[in-house]
Amino acid sequence: MNKINLIIQQEYLNRIRKRSFIIMTLLMPFLFVTIMFVPNWLSSIDSTGTQDITVLDYTGLYEDLFTDTPQYRFNYQTTGKPVNHTEKPYAYITISDNLIQNSKAIAIYSEKQISQNLKEYVTLQTEHYLENEKLASYQIPNIRKIIADSQVKLNIPEIRLSENESKNHSSAETSIIIGITGTFIIYMFLLLYGVQVMQSVTQEKSSRIVEVMISSVKPFELMMGKIVAIGLAGLTQFTIWLILSGIILSLATPQLLSDMSLNSNDLSIEAINLQNYPFVELLIYFILFFIGGYMLYASLFAAIGAAVDNESDTQQFMVPVTIIILFALYTGIYSAQFPEGPLAFWCSMIPFTSPIVMMVRLPFGIPFWETALSLLILSISTLYCIWISGRIYRVGILMYGKKTSYREIIKWIRYKG
């Protein structure tokens, strides 16, 4: 155990002291915030100016159909054709018949593909105009007020009954957000840091450094020390990312936060929902599934790294593992809509998919026995995978110059020497 602790300490310190680790740890929160806000900022920039749109209304009925906007200026005509002039407009809108009687009598002509924004604007304006015309044709007094008064909007509260007959407000939307967030965090961690374990083992094997290390420690101790150290480095990086992202968001969006505080009535329901979620319980389960999933996949990645001579040979073994992780992610996203479905249930019991899928199901309040059984299966499977990976690691780490196959790996597992 002392040797494993020394390996963990040395591997962890070497990893967090790397310049690339420090740069990515500090830079990623800024990239995250940039990805959130830059698209909205770019969409608000008017890079094209005002576009001229020519309306060819052959019926003479729709002179007031379109109004000018900062983006579009409409020029109304009753004659002419959509042709290419030297000073051609951005687009032509033709109206050849009464739109109430013939809704297909309107079309948009352009030399280049028009923007989706223009199409939506023309469609919405036309629909709104025709709706008003139809209502006016009924000649019913105050018909718009009658229709407005007849519209009913409900905000039905969701109340979850617990075993002690207490009532807790909940929200399907909030449960989905919490579950999907946990799912993506575990998915990213498994794939990102599991691959780092494999690359680290492969590099040490290729440089023959491992031959010196094996003379002082057992292969299993080296494998476990590397897995735990990279996992701790990843947790450190994630923690720093969350803290810095929170600080940057709070500093970059003061106006957004103030606007949200003004809508106290809208936020009150969500606040109740959040207050009634068992975040401590969810955090404990998250940590347990997080550790189990990482140790399971990291041991597999370590075995793959030990079984090959270089990183280019890892593809044949990486593909099945990557497919399983991607399948777990897609199953988790699907389970957000059907958390009690058979696919969600069985994938939450299979150890290779349960760490990801269970994160989606837990916020919906599944029975305790399902969570306990899933954790038990995951724990037993993780220990078994670590044992198998250890047997592959002890043989494969000193194998050079031979193309590894699945049959060869099975022989290593059965080898009792």
Q: Which of 203, 204, 196 is nearest to 227 (CA)?
A: 196
Rounded to an integer, what distance in angstroms lies between the CA atom of residue 254 and that of residue 247?
Answer: 11
pLDDT at 281: 85
Phi-psi region of 91 (alpha: psi -120 to 50; beta: other; left: phi over 0): beta
Write out residues in the chain with pLDDT < 50, as ranges: 255-272
Altogether, the residues listed in the chain come to a count of: 417
Identity of the amino acid at 263: N
Res 350: pLDDT: 93
- Residue 235's φ and ψ, nearest 5 degrees, are -65, -40
Model confidence over 108-150: pLDDT tens digits? 988 888 888 889 999 999 998 888 888 888 888 888 888 888 8
Token output for 193: 């840091």
Q: What sign results for the dihedral spanned by CA atoms 373, 376, 379, 382?
A: negative
Tokens of 354: 């349960």
pLDDT at 6: 86
DSSP string covering 1-15 = -HHHHHHHHHHHHHH
Read off the pLDDT of residues 232-249 as tens digits, 9 standing for 90 and up. Answer: 988 898 888 888 887 877
pLDDT attached to residue 138: 81
Instruction: Please report the pLDDT score of residue 261 as a whole number.
Output: 44
Identify the pLDDT of residue 218: 81
Token pair for 280: 């401590």
Q: Where are the domains of the chain?
A: 51-150, 171-250+266-414
Q: Taking CA 82 as the corner, what is the angle to CA 80 and CA 84, rounded to the nearest 5 degrees? A: 115
The fold for domain 51-150 equals D-Maltodextrin-Binding Protein; domain 2 (3.40.190)
